[in-house]
A = this chain, B = another copy of it.
């Protein structure tokens, strides 16, 4: 237990269930002196909000964040920052039956087994709403990184078998469409596809990619706190993620060494890589080039079509899940992926500061 804390010197502790009073996070270890307002965080939270897209649940939550501590006269004090979002639109009525059976693809069965009982309303702690805490903390992490010129480009790269063609990639387009896809062509095809899926009372999987630029070389602590190892944990911890790739990812198992190795060359006195199959991480340590991360999300488990399962009395039954559910997870998860990556990188930046005697001596001079 006690698995709701992540990070070392930038440590976040999230809390809250989908149908409880509120959700939030405590960020412990944000350096002092960072300008911070509710707006900085609200911008991030708005990117995950339900009820604003034809493709997401009609449940409307304003999800307004409140900063309860850790900020004084507009800047972080270095003390813990507590952030909270009150739940305003729970409809417990939608969930009454669920207490009695185990929804396929949901954590009902496993939570029941682990804890002896569960808050059956919605997903409880396993609900997508627990990402509110992650994203609120991610907003702070992103602001720290921005100060160091580290930036993110995160988007939905595929929905079902509709894959965005890298040749059509347009970073500016990502925030201009509801699906957070990076080109109009695949976005259009995916929209049509999603309408079909919804008409069939079904849901579909998706892929989210995250490019991180400006990461200094040297981050990551071999052998277990390698940057890719911690990113894998951070991303796999997001609900519905079933695979994480770095750089060429699964393709590396099919390629040769001569193909895969990213050689170096000097250009105008700057070290450059000849390619980036590695995705910016070598030997578990960042190499100065873009980090290339990919997460694969399964389809939303809650679907209205009929499924076979069992109830708590041990009987085989058929169920059809009502309620307000997204047919796809990827688009709203883009900001979650970005947040977890940001939090992990901030931790790696802090952890790296004690790597060398010369830097230590200089710091305390």
On whether A264 and B102 interact (CB within 8 A), knowing A31-B354, A256-B197, the answer reads yes
Which of A20-28, A166-174, A184-192 is near enough to bind chain B?
A20-28
Please provide the chain A residues from 302 to 323 with a CB less than 8 Å away from any CB of chain B in the complex. 302-303, 305, 307-310, 314-316
Interface string of A105-123 (1 = CB under 8 A from B): 1110111011111110001
Q: Which residue of B lies closest to A316 (CB)?
A: B265
4 closest residue pairs by CB, A with B: A107-B283, A3-B221, A2-B29, A3-B225
B interface footprint on A1-38 (CB within 8 Å = 1, 0 otherwise) = 11111111111011111001111101011111110000
- Name 7 A/B residue pairs within 8 A (Cβ), A-sorted: A17-B70, A32-B117, A125-B223, A144-B357, A205-B254, A264-B309, A264-B310
Is the CB of A247 closer than 8 A to any CB of chain B? yes
Given A69-B23, A252-B296, are A115 and B257 neighbors across the interface (CB < 8 Å)? no
Q: Does A282 contact B (CB under 8 A)?
A: yes
Contacts of A299 in B (CB 8 A): 252, 255-257, 259-260
* Contact status of A224 and B243, CB under 8 A, knowing A111-B285, A282-B106: no
Q: Are B116 and A358 in contact (CB under 8 A)?
A: yes
**Could you tell me the dominant secondary structure of chain A's interface residues?**
mixed
Assess the A354–B10 pair: CB atoms within 8 A. yes
* A237 / chain B contacts, CB cutoff of 8 Å: 223-226, 228-229, 284
> Which chain B residues border A142 with CB–CB below 8 Å?
none
Kindly report which residue of chain B lies nearest to residue A313, judged by CB atoms.
B266
Does A178 reach chain B (CB closer than 8 Å)?
no
Contact residue range for chain A?
35 or more
Tell me if A244 counts as interface (CB < 8 A to partner B).
Answer: yes
Q: Nearest Cβ distance between residue A92 and chain B, in whole angstroms?
A: 11
In the bound complex, residues from chain B placing their C-beta under 8 Å from that of A51 are none
Q: Would A204 and B264 count as touching, CB distance under 8 A?
A: no
